[in-house]
Amino acid sequence: MIKNTNAFILSYNQYKNSSIIASFLTDNSIIQAICYRAKKNSKSFGSDLESISKLNINIYKKNENHLSILKESSIIKNYKILEKSIYSSLAVFYIREIFLHCAKDFDNRYFILMEKTLDALESLEENNYDDKIKKMYIDILIRAFEIKTLHIAGISPNLDKCIICGNSDNTLFYSILEGGLICSKCKNIIKDSIKITENDKLFMRIIKYTSLIDIIKNEDLKNIYNNSINNVKNIMEKSIFNHINKTVKSRKVLEEIL
Ligand SMILES: [Zn+2]
């Protein structure tokens, strides 16, 4: 059966001499496909797979137990400006790796989030900010990407009231395992409570509820970024780890450059 679908590439690995095995994020989970002679036959799809693009692919699916075969691919939209930026390219590497682990459920929101994240990065790159501001916004966008991924996975952080007792006062602790705010009374019965500030809560609320494209226009974030990024980054990193149970390799490289 031939299936035609839009897709983003998540990974590709050399297979034997001249072929590639690629993982595609489609609007209906992840498809693995073999691309025969992808290297030699770059005109048909070899180079498409190496770019940061939204693709349209034709996949031949034999049956459930066989790897699909990529028959044809074409670029719908190429994010060239991201390929030229070291910061955005590394951000895309990270996003792809997260989705390889997270986007296995049949949920089209992962595909939408991928597209919106790329669009936001593109818009940011087009803004010609100086490097410092650009890096700050990429850092924030990645945190927003993480919180939105957790939301799709059904473990959206609860940022309104204590997740144990429902109290909305004195909620200046956070639990990764419980996935939300903890009040000063309940903190004693939680093993992994992390002290947070009002600023951290505000930061997480903004990235949870604001669309990605609006995040890069949000001036308030500039003021709360410095005081809260370390705490929010730590919470997101541990929450993602708790969800996928794996260390994300590309994270370290991205951290070093941002
Ligand atoms: Zn409580």
pLDDT, one tens digit per residue, over 139-169 is 999 999 999 999 999 998 999 999 999 999 9
Distance 151 CA to ligand 1 centre (A): 22
- What are the start and end residues of each CATH 1.20.1440.120 domain in the chain? 84-257
Distance 46 CA to ligand 1 centre (A): 55
Distance 142 CA to ligand 1 centre (A): 29
Distance 191 CA to ligand 1 centre (A): 14
Distance 55 CA to ligand 1 centre (A): 47
Helix 220-244, helix 131-152: angle, nearest 10 = 40
Distance 197 CA to ligand 1 centre (A): 16
What average pLDDT does the segment 19-24 reach? 92
CA angle 145, 98, 164 (to 5 degrees): 65
Distance 179 CA to ligand 1 centre (A): 13
Distance 175 CA to ligand 1 centre (A): 11
CA 99, distance to chain mean position in Å, is 6
What average pLDDT does the segment 28-43 reach? 75
What average pLDDT does the segment 211-221 reach? 92
Residue linked to tokens 């945190």: 143
Tell me if 48 sits within 8 A of 80, measured CB to CB.
no
Distance 173 CA to ligand 1 centre (A): 10
- The set of residues, in sequence order, having a beta carbon less than 8 Å from that of 133 and lying 6+ positions away, is none
Q: Is the pLDDT of residue 99 over 90?
A: yes
CA angle 56, 60, 64 (to 5 degrees): 120
Distance 192 CA to ligand 1 centre (A): 14
Distance 232 CA to ligand 1 centre (A): 21
Q: Is the pLDDT of residue 245 over 90?
A: yes
- The set of residues, in sequence order, having a beta carbon less than 8 Å from that of 138 and lying 6+ positions away, is 87, 88, 91, 121, 124, 258
Give dist(CA 39, CA 19) in Å, integer. 6
Distance 164 CA to ligand 1 centre (A): 5
pLDDT interval class at 213 (50, 70, 90): very high
Q: Is CATH 3.40.50.620 what the domain over 84-257 is classified as, yes or no?
A: no
Q: Is the pLDDT of residue 76 over 70?
A: yes
- What are the start and end residues of each CATH 2.40.50.140 domain in the chain? 2-78
Cβ count within 10 A of residue 49: 20
Distance 125 CA to ligand 1 centre (A): 42
148 or 35, which is more confident: 148
Superfamily in which the 2-78 domain is placed by CATH: Nucleic acid-binding proteins (2.40.50.140)
Give dist(CA 104, CA 243) in Å, integer. 13
What average pLDDT does the segment 129-135 reach? 93
Give dist(CA 6, CA 246) in Å, integer. 28
Closest CA to 49 of 22, 14, 17, 31: 22
